[in-house]
Amino acid sequence: MTATAAELLETPAVPEKELPVRDRAQTQGRIFQAGRALLAEGGFQAFGVNAVARKAGCDKQLIYRYFGGLDGLLDAIGEDLAGWVTQHVPEDQGGRFLLTYGDLMERLVELYADALRADPLMRRILVWELSESSPHIARMADARAKGIAQWIERMRGSLTPPKGADTVALNAVVIAAVQQLVLAAETSGSFVGLPLKSQKDWARAVAAVARMARAAYA
Amino acid sequence: MTATAAELLETPAVPEKELPVRDRAQTQGRIFQAGRALLAEGGFQAFGVNAVARKAGCDKQLIYRYFGGLDGLLDAIGEDLAGWVTQHVPEDQGGRFLLTYGDLMERLVELYADALRADPLMRRILVWELSESSPHIARMADARAKGIAQWIERMRGSLTPPKGADTVALNAVVIAAVQQLVLAAETSGSFVGLPLKSQKDWARAVAAVARMARAAYA
DNA sequence: CGGCCTAATCACCATCGGGTGACTTTGCCG
DNA sequence: CGGCAAAGTCACCCGATGGTGATTAGGCCG
């Protein structure tokens, strides 16, 4: 694969109906984007050689030539998503001072929920991770875990968690809750009775998670 | 559908290699069990007419005849799972007195986590719910939500949550966290750095969730 | 025995999936 | 111009899938 995922990303979406351009880089980019789009729209069920080729508007053979098959394409996409946390979850404090570890956790919840809600592709990947285990997936999950850890580390600044708190476990729980809520929202619009549609619903949900996190770190 | 899901359940697993028995009820049961097993083992990806027939040791035609196709079979399975919460999550207090709402939440977390960890089929269904939305799925999710609400109601007894606490949201968050952790454990064995393999790992995770829940309800 | 209902199977279809080898087009360079 | 490598396409294979109509096999009852 002669191009990095970053370079592939520069392809400005899938051009409408451009006739064969005989430009390897661009075709590669179209395939890449088609793969991402399919994954984001229909999940891994919709991710197949034929489907990608159809969407990219080229012959499936090129997928094998340029990416070494579906797995290669998936790797390229995964590579790009490796830095997802640092790229999509901002580190600003939203103009607030984070005085306590609880403040930090609240902000973490807000930012992570927003980032996830804004990214269909990442959501699909997360669901995928729950459906099966494969090397690709394991790598992605690993990279994300590290990203989250680093992100917390940077946001934390000089704040320190209360002694005796199992930060690893507590952080995992908080992230888990947010993730499950966001994923469930997409397909069912609610979770065990808690509606998750409007912006207000989300404010309520996020407040609940934040309250718990804050209380646990008090 | 001449048999209820409950009756179908009585079929004692899939008989090894019994030759055609010419017993409609039993064959129906075998198909039913095969469907459940496939779903539990391989998730919805493994759930197909041919696969079920193969596993049940009969012709796929019978699936159409007895259940009206895959959808019908799925309905039968779903019907049986409707009462899952009340059937699989016990209501005992484990010999403890639940003195506070926090105690209740802790017990809730323990019991729900255990029940889910012990039931592959239910886990698969939960993942499925995150993957796509369909009438079947929506119905199942609904039934589960109600079951959980009732279960909490019964466990609660005369305990009352602190004023001002958004119990619906908080409960949803707690359940969400547990669910995500259990689902993630199966495929990756950990979640954002928190290991989820040994019994000890689980004790730690459950303690973290319980700590948060308890703190939020204090 | 013969008939009949029904459980169960068989044979077949169209379709789609991943995957591959041979082919055609295009642009470039001497 | 001729030729050559690269970009792209075509035609095909194979296996598996969902789905259906016709057919067989077995038990029961008069």
User: What residues in B contact A45, CB-CB < 8 Å?
Assistant: 45, 131-132
Q: Which of A27, A55, A79 is the last residue of a domain?
A: A79
Same domain, A149 and A49: no
User: For residue A33, what is the domain's CATH number?
Assistant: 1.10.10.60
Q: How far apart are CA B83 and CA B147, in angstroms?
A: 7
Which residue is closest to B136 within chain A, CA to CA?
A188
pLDDT in tens, A82-117: 999 999 999 976 677 889 999 999 999 999 999 999
Residue pair A116/A122 in contact (Cβ under 8 Å)? The answer is: yes
Whether residue B94 has pLDDT greater than 80: no
Which residue is closest to B217 within chain A, CA to CA?
A212
C12 C1' – B61 CA distance, angstroms? 13
3-state secondary structure of A191: strand
Same domain, B60 and B103: no
Q: Which of A79, A103, A118 is the last residue of a domain?
A: A79
Question: How close B65 comes to chain A (CA, Å)?
Answer: 28
Residue pair B140/B81 in contact (Cβ under 8 Å)? The answer is: yes
- Residue B210's contacts (CB-CB under 8 Å, 6 or more residues apart) are B105, B106, B109, B110
The per-residue pLDDT for B180 is: 98
Nearest Cα to Cα of residue B193 among A148, A89, A86, A91 = A148
3-state secondary structure of B45: helix
Q: Judge: B192–A175 Cβ closer than 8 Å, yes or no.
A: yes
Same domain, A146 and A206: yes
Scanning every strand, the nucleotide with its C1' closest to A46's CA turns out to be C17
Residue pair A177/B176 in contact (Cβ under 8 Å)? The answer is: yes
The per-residue pLDDT for A95 is: 73
Same domain, A75 and A98: no
Radius of gyration (C-alpha) of chain B in whole angstroms: 20
Whether residue B5 has pLDDT greater than 80: no
**Considering only CA atoms, which residue is closest to the C1' of nucleotide D21?**
B61
Same domain, B71 and B125: no
Task: Give the rounded percent of residues in chain B with a pLDDT score beyond 70.
Answer: 90
One-letter amino acid at B71 equals D
Enumerate the nucleotides of strand D whose atoms come under 7 Å of any protein CB. 6-11, 16-22, 26-27
Same domain, A140 and A184: yes
Same domain, A198 and A108: yes
Q: How far apart are CA A201 and CA B6, in angstroms?
A: 38
Q: Is the CB of B95 under 7 A from strand C?
A: no
The per-residue pLDDT for B207 is: 98
Structure tokens at B52: 């079920």
A194: β partners: A191
The per-residue pLDDT for A3 is: 61
Q: Is the CB of A171 under 7 A from strand D?
A: no
The per-residue pLDDT for B95 is: 72
pLDDT in tens, B100-113: 999 999 999 999 99
Per-residue confidence in pLDDT tens, chain A, 218 aa: 446 766 666 655 444 444 567 999 999 999 999 999 999 999 999 999 999 999 999 999 999 999 999 999 999 999 999 999 999 999 976 677 889 999 999 999 999 999 999 999 999 999 999 999 999 899 999 999 999 999 999 999 999 999 999 999 999 999 999 999 999 999 999 999 999 999 999 999 999 999 999 999 98
- Give me chain B's average pLDDT, please: 92
Same domain, A144 and A61: no
Q: How far apart are CA A156 and CA A165, in angstroms?
A: 15
One-character DSSP codes across A20-89: ----HHHHHHHHHHHHHHHHHHHGGGG--HHHHHHHHTS-THHHHHHHSSHHHHHHHHHHHHTTHHHHHS
Q: How many domains does chain B have?
A: 2
3-state secondary structure of A158: coil
Whether residue B15 has pLDDT greater than 50: no
Q: How far apart are CA A101 and CA A104, in angstroms?
A: 5
The per-residue pLDDT for A13 is: 47
Q: How far apart are CA B73 and CA B99, in angstroms?
A: 44
Which of B44, B84, B131, B146 is the best mutation test for A, with the most CBs of A within 10 A?
B131
Same domain, A94 and A124: yes
From residue B108, how far is each of A106, A174, B180 by CA, in Å? 24, 17, 15
Strand D interface, B 135-174, C-beta < 7 A? none
**Could you tell me the end-to-end alpha-carbon distance of chain A, in angstroms, rounded to an integer?**
50
User: What residues in B contact A138, CB-CB < 8 Å?
Assistant: 188
Same domain, B96 and B50: no
Residue pair A119/A88 in contact (Cβ under 8 Å)? The answer is: yes
C3 C1' – B64 CA distance, angstroms? 28
State how far Cα A208 lies from the chain centre. 22
Same domain, A11 and A53: yes
pLDDT in tens, B112-158: 999 999 999 999 999 999 999 999 899 999 999 999 999 999 999 99
> Backbone phi, then psi, for A194, in 5-degree steps?
-90, 115
Residue whose pair of structure tokens reads 């990442």 in the numeric block: A122
Residue pair A172/B151 in contact (Cβ under 8 Å)? The answer is: no
Q: How far apart are CA B32 and CA B9, in angstroms?
A: 8
Residue-range definition of the domain harbouring residue B52: 5-80
Which residue is closest to B166 within chain A, CA to CA?
A208
Same domain, A94 and A74: no
Q: Judge: A131–B213 Cβ closer than 8 Å, yes or no.
A: no
Residue pair B124/B43 in contact (Cβ under 8 Å)? The answer is: yes
The per-residue pLDDT for B21 is: 78
The per-residue pLDDT for B17 is: 45
Q: Which of A79, A110, A125 is the last residue of a domain?
A: A79
pLDDT in tens, A37-58: 999 999 999 999 999 999 999 9
Model confidence at B218, pLDDT cuts 50, 70, 90, reads confident
Structure tokens at A3: 């191009």
The per-residue pLDDT for B32 is: 98
The per-residue pLDDT for A92 is: 79
From residue A175, how far is each of A88, A149, B78, B84 by CA, in Å? 15, 11, 30, 27
